[in-house]
Chain A
């Protein structure tokens, strides 16, 4: 037995019209202002956009798609890839840490030591800020579901 379908709310209808570009200028500006203030509404618009992007991928899957899916589930293939990437990331982080320790323990003058430290700290801060930005905007990026 399927659940009875509920009528879309006024906000859901507005979001659909917004995504389809059917709102007039005044209504669109008003809706834009609401999107800045209402995360739930923004999520609704993101989901509709994602649905729209997926819906136009009308080409049927190719035979090799099924084989890729099977391969991804195999421990030998998927597991090796994930473990390999983890080990590469671990080694990169280890080398970075080793570099910091080496510079810290070196006989460099305090000023160059400070500059190298500032550079590494700056790069780390910029990377973390960029990563945070990506993670925050990821749920609103409908194109991650596009395959080909």
Chain B
């Protein structure tokens, strides 16, 4: 699956627009990790616990979007965008969306 943030795939032409595809997920770390993250916020530096949390939820959202595109028979997703919010303290939501398309044969 080709995923691009541009609205076209270089060197390929789009034959069919299959519509919006999206994937979202909300994840949290366990309370032990929250305590360690709280301590790191006191001393400074990267809060790895939350870096990992954001990375986990980003990958899961991305996979969900790709699964939806595959189910529609897409060859690529164009105009892909990420958005994130905090739905609860210590829980991150990622939303990934784009347009699923079919490409002309090379």
Bound together: yes
Distance in angstroms from B95 CB to nearest chain A CB is: 16
Using a Cβ–Cβ cut-off of 8 Å, how many residues does chain B contribute to the interface with A? 18
Q: Are B55 and A148 in contact (CB under 8 A)?
A: yes
Q: Are B67 and A88 in contact (CB under 8 A)?
A: no
Q: Are B1 and A53 in contact (CB under 8 A)?
A: no
Q: Are A53 and B70 in contact (CB under 8 A)?
A: no
Contact-size category for A: 10 to 19
Q: Are A85 and B52 in contact (CB under 8 A)?
A: no
> Mostly helix, strand, loop or mixed at chain B's interface?
helix
Chain A residues with Cβ under 8 A from B70's Cβ?
A: 21
Interface membership of chain A positions 84-100, coded 1 if the CB is closer than 8 angstroms to chain B and 0 otherwise: 01001100000000000
Partner of A147, one of B27, B55, B57: B55
Q: Are B35 and A88 in contact (CB under 8 A)?
A: yes
Q: Is B8 an interface residue (CB 8 A)?
A: no
Chain B residues with Cβ under 8 A from A68's Cβ?
A: 48
Given A85-B36, A143-B56, 14 more pairs with CB closer than 8 A: A21-B1, A21-B66, A21-B70, A53-B59, A56-B59, A81-B36, A88-B35, A143-B27, A143-B57, A143-B59, A144-B56, A147-B55, A148-B52, A148-B55
- Could you tell me which B residues sit within 8 Å of A by CB distance? 1, 27, 32, 35-36, 48, 51-52, 55-57, 59-60, 63, 66-67, 70-71
